[in-house]
Structure 1
Amino acid sequence: MEKLIIIGKITGAHGVRGELKVFPLTDDPRRFLKLKECFTCGQDMEKPEAKVCANARMDRGNVLVRFEGIEDRDKAELLRGRFIAVERANAVKLKKDSYFITDLKGLTVIDDTRGDIGKVVDCFQTGPQYTLEIKRSAKKNLLLPFVKVYCYEVSIEEGFIKCRLPEGLYELYD
């Protein structure tokens, strides 16, 4: 099976007819409105189960989704805590210099001055920008704003991010 990309987390059931409340983990929550084939899985993509989306709608920052075969609240509750994922071929098309978080994880971060700093273990949104969490050997993880001024080159194919750390950031984590 092609690599999956997580687009949302199921936070619980909504109502009595099998609808699921989904917290979107995508820049465009409206993408759920066109969702047809997808998978539910664990956080690390384990145990993927194919699902067909019967319908979806927006509701106060969340998305409400109903899958075929999930007709009541009890069945919907069994999916609480699972994630919704799509095959890479069905993922949204990215703009230039945009990346899927799953593709950034595992990349080696190379600073112009210090060389290999560590590997990206997570990427999360902090206000208007994203922040990389970099695992360093035998040291505290380092948080680096994922903005062009600091992270000036990304190569998914070659497995690295080249950066210029802001002055004092490295020392802050030592």
Structure 2
Amino acid sequence: MHPELDLVYVGKIVGTHGVKGELKVISLTDIENRFNELDRVYLVNEQDHYDPIIAHIESSFTHKNMEIVKFSEWDDINQVEGFHDWYIKIPREERPQLEEDEYYFDQITGLSVVTVEDEFLGTVTNIYQTGSNDVYEVSKEQDDKPILIPALYEVVKKIDLDEQIMIVDLPEGLLDEEE
């Protein structure tokens, strides 16, 4: 891959749709109608490590919880069948600007987590979307049982991306239950 490209995931191709080169895509973003807003994207095959292929979105629509995406470069099912399990990515700098106190998952993953008492809890290793609020999985060591921290204003007091740190005020009993 080109070292100057800093790409982020927006979708995963999981199959074809129809015979005119449309593809079924699982969206990897919370932004509604994301593919309607995109023009140029990069198709990436992470299994075979090919260089990204630049493609242009001609149209997209939602069908049965999938995005159906048509690229202007291909008009036939035979031309796109090989893209199964490829990812759709965009340059990081082309992501939409988020509101204050909103973050992309890749900005949160890897942050050091400390309590308001300055106790190091570990690093954010995963994020779960539960519906009502996200939950951050925090691990100290690979073998340790992770701590699950709700992403609520009452709990997460500060996120400092420059310092790569998250400060939390854990509810009473959370650590006792986890240990």
When normalised by structure 1's length, the TM-score is 0.87
Separation in structure 1 between the aligned mates of residue 128 and residue 95 of structure 2, nearest angstrom = 19
SS of equivalent to 1:78 = helix
Aligned to 1:162: 167
Separation in structure 2 between the aligned mates of residue 172 and residue 77 of structure 1, nearest angstrom = 49
Aligned to 2:65: 61
Separation in structure 1 between the aligned mates of residue 81 and residue 125 of structure 2, nearest angstrom = 30
Report deviation, 1:64.
Answer: 0.8
Separation in structure 2 between the aligned mates of residue 21 and residue 117 of structure 1, nearest angstrom = 40
Unmatched 5+ stretches in structure 1:
none
Percent identical pairs in the alignment equals 27
Unmatched 5+ stretches in structure 2:
none
1:20 partner amino acid: L
> Residues 96-138 of structure 1, C-alpha deviation per residue, up to 9 Å, x if partnerless?
1000111111110111246111111122311121111112214
Aligned to 1:97: 101
Report deviation, 1:49.
Answer: 3.2
Describe the shift of the 1:41–1:156 C-alpha distance in structure 2 as closer, same or farther (beyond 3 A).
farther
SS of equivalent to 1:76 = helix
Q: Among 64, 67, 82, which residue is 2:86 paired with?
A: 82
Separation in structure 1 between the aligned mates of residue 14 and residue 55 of structure 2, nearest angstrom = 17
Describe the shift of the 1:123–1:75 C-alpha distance in structure 2 as closer, same or farther (beyond 3 A).
farther
> Residues 34-77 of structure 1, C-alpha deviation per residue, up to 9 Å, x if partnerless?
21111223679x65432221221222332111123333334433
2:60 partner amino acid: A
- Note if contact 2:14-2:23 (Cα within 8 Å) is conserved in structure 1: yes
Describe the shift of the 1:50–1:125 C-alpha distance in structure 2 as closer, same or farther (beyond 3 A).
same
- Note if contact 1:29-1:63 (Cα within 8 Å) is conserved in structure 2: no
- Note if contact 2:35-2:57 (Cα within 8 Å) is conserved in structure 1: no
2:68 partner amino acid: L
Describe the shift of the 1:117–1:61 C-alpha distance in structure 2 as closer, same or farther (beyond 3 A).
same
SS of equivalent to 1:161 = strand
* Residues 141-150 or 105-114, more deviating: 105-114
Separation in structure 1 between the aligned mates of residue 135 and residue 54 of structure 2, nearest angstrom = 32
- Note if contact 1:4-1:85 (Cα within 8 Å) is conserved in structure 2: yes
Aligned to 2:10: 7
Larger Rg: 2
Aligned to 2:144: 139
Aligned to 1:117: 121
Report deviation, 1:30.
Answer: 0.8
